Structure 1
Amino acid sequence: MADQRTDPVYHREGQMYAHNTTLSSIAPLSSLPASTQPLFKPPPDTTKTPYILTSPSTIFHAQGGGQPSDVGTITLTSPTPDGNDPKFTVHQVRKVDASAAILHLGTFAPEEPRFTDAEVGLEVKQAVDVPTRVLHSRLHTAGHVLGLAIHLLSRAGEAGLPRDLRDGKASHYPGAAFVENIGLIPGDAKARIQDKVDELVAQDLGVAIHFWTGEEAGTKCISGLDGAAVGEGDEVRVVDIGGLGSYPCGGTHVACLKELGRVVVRGIKRQKGISKVSYEVVDA
């Protein structure tokens, strides 16, 4: 298994859905350390052996930061020496160690290849499943827009929100998306939060990705350096919503807020000083 760092192309090119690269390693999931294997969910077809593929670069978003991984396929761009050209279906992508390769879990079809050292270095085409990527990007950006709306209302002292609210955890999974705030948001603030979210989306603000120094990100970002502070070298990757608010983030995003459709605030739950605001995205 290759241990070199994988270049996360999706950090810079969030709307790239196909990418040519090479294979760095191919190995059965069972070859990973026993402590690592449980991090992966078994593929749907239990009759096939799950494998891990690595490449020098990838467009597949690795699960993390509250966002699920991409799914898709990896195919050879030229025949193997033995003429066996299976398609690899990517079911899950993880980055177990920040300094290690990004691991693509999946299965081969129509049959498992006969692996030799010749496979390493072969050219392959990565293709993410576009509808899945777009949905994940919409949900992730929508979570930041919801957090920004709450932040703006809180700092303005509107809707009964305390001024000292602070960002907490977040999930951007389909059907289970929420943002948390440390502090209590009253239940009757839901309508005002929805209005603020609608207002921001209606402005069709641009969504920009920046790479800032840790000092700059800590100063400019709403949550400071808390959260998914993912960097390249000594830089921190940041998502900026129309210049109104920035967050350290390693996820994928839409290019502008009109691509979100409508962000629906579903409910507010409060427990032990934490407010959880759930949401979803629907077509406008």
Structure 2
Amino acid sequence: MTEQLYLPDDDYRREFDARVEAVDESNGTVVLDRTLFYKEGGGQPPDHGRLSFESGEGRVVDVRKDHGEIRHTVEGNLPKEGATVHGELDWERRYAHMRYHTAQHVVSKVVLDEYGASTAGNQIHDDRARIDFTPAAFDEDDPRAIEERANALIERDLSVEKENRPRAALEAETPDGRSNLDLIPDDVDPLRAVTIGDVDVCPCGGTHVDRLGELGELTIVDRSSKGADTERIEFVLDGPEQA
């Protein structure tokens, strides 16, 4: 099983060395014994970057989990099984996802607290994000109220802590409606917890910034109905220089 090096709290690391466990030339995929590349999941796209090795280098363009293995799709040269590779993340892409995923947690907590609506789904990009809430029926003033409350939290520059926690303890601490804990297999224990100051805690395997001040200003750019009792909010971040 591939060791995920960014877990639980090494999101800012950009380079690593690893050993090639398997190569599938027909699909252009590589399995490593350890990786910093985030695999697609939880509404967050995969990391991109580069693998370099003695005989050449290739561009990592997709990362997915398949039957328990994390497979890196590589364009260009493929390393040989058993080779040592040096991995480098596309940091601009990774950091954008870190900011937007953390912002998604902020908005989700605000909506849960203020409207009693849970996050039914989300999708993060490197320049925007969307969240679906249910049960929800926002009026035309609600997006601005959500935006103001989210920015008030961001301005507090709260710390964002990532750590592994015993499942039972995290389940007890996570507010009702904050997470779909029932979708996580029972044998996953401990769970990785993401805690924002004294306002939010949620099990999450995605990548995140260390402080809310890194998010900058959040602007809700669209709100739409996605069916009975479901509302979608889309937002962008206009923030500080890249870390």
TM-score (norm 1): 0.76
The answer on 1:193 being equivalent to 2:146 is yes
Aligned match of 1:221 in 162, 170, 174?
174
Are the counterparts in 2 of residues 229 and 249 from structure 1 also a CA contact under 8 Å?
no
Deviations 1:176-216 (A, max 9, x none): 51112212222211111111111000000111112222222
In structure 1, the gaps of 5 or more residues are 31-50, 80-84, 155-160
Counterpart amino acid of residue 173 in structure 1: H
Q: SS where residue 199 of structure 1 aligns?
A: helix
| 1:251 CA displacement | 0.7
> Which residues of 2 match residues 27-176 of structure 1 at below 5 A?
27-30=24-27, 51-76=28-53, 79=54, 85-97=55-67, 100-108=68-76, 112=77, 119-152=80-113, 154=114, 161=115, 164-174=116-126
Are the counterparts in 1 of residues 22 and 81 from structure 2 also a CA contact under 8 Å?
yes
What residue in structure 1 maps to residue 20 of structure 2?
23
What residue in structure 2 maps to residue 38 of structure 1?
none
Q: 1:230 to 1:123 in 2, by over 3 A?
A: farther
Are the counterparts in 2 of residues 229 and 248 from structure 1 also a CA contact under 8 Å?
no
Greater alpha carbon shift after TM alignment, 217-226 vs 228-237: 228-237
TM-score (norm 2): 0.88
Q: 1:226 to 1:96 in 2, by over 3 A?
A: same
Q: 1:168 to 1:186 in 2, by over 3 A?
A: same
Are the counterparts in 2 of residues 208 and 239 from structure 1 also a CA contact under 8 Å?
yes
Counterpart amino acid of residue 283 in structure 1: G
The answer on 1:211 being equivalent to 2:153 is no
Q: Which one has a larger percent strand, Structure 1 or Structure 2?
A: 2
| 1:175 CA displacement | 5.1
What residue in structure 2 maps to residue 202 of structure 1?
155
Deviations 1:35-82 (A, max 9, x none): xxxxxxxxxxxxxxxx10111110000011000000000112xx3xxx
Runs of 4+ in structure 1 off by over 6 angstroms are none
CA-atom RMSD, angstroms?
2.2
Counterpart amino acid of residue 103 in structure 1: R
Greater alpha carbon shift after TM alignment, 62-71 vs 259-268: 259-268
Are the counterparts in 2 of residues 29 and 105 from structure 1 also a CA contact under 8 Å?
no
| 1:224 CA displacement | 5.3
Greater alpha carbon shift after TM alignment, 18-27 vs 181-190: 181-190
In structure 2, the gaps of 5 or more residues are none
CA distance in 2, matches of 1:9, 1:177: 25
Q: SS where residue 95 of structure 1 aligns?
A: strand
| 1:142 CA displacement | 0.8
Are the counterparts in 2 of residues 174 and 280 from structure 1 also a CA contact under 8 Å?
no
| 1:151 CA displacement | 2.4
Q: 1:176 to 1:203 in 2, by over 3 A?
A: closer
Q: 1:95 to 1:267 in 2, by over 3 A?
A: same
Deviations 1:139-198 (A, max 9, x none): 11111111122223x2xxxxxx3xx32221111124551112212222211111111111
Larger of the two Rg values belongs to structure = 1
Are the counterparts in 2 of residues 217 and 224 from structure 1 also a CA contact under 8 Å?
no
Q: SS where residue 215 of structure 1 aligns?
A: helix
CA distance in 2, matches of 1:21, 1:73: 13
Q: 1:225 to 1:264 in 2, by over 3 A?
A: closer
CA distance in 2, matches of 1:231, 1:74: 35
Q: SS where residue 214 of structure 2 aligns?
A: helix
Counterpart amino acid of residue 89 in structure 2: V
Counterpart amino acid of residue 94 in structure 2: R
Are the counterparts in 2 of residues 230 and 237 from structure 1 also a CA contact under 8 Å?
no
- Count matched residues: 235
CA distance in 2, matches of 1:129, 1:136: 11
Q: SS where residue 23 of structure 1 aligns?
A: strand
Tell me the percent identity.
22
| 1:229 CA displacement | 4.8
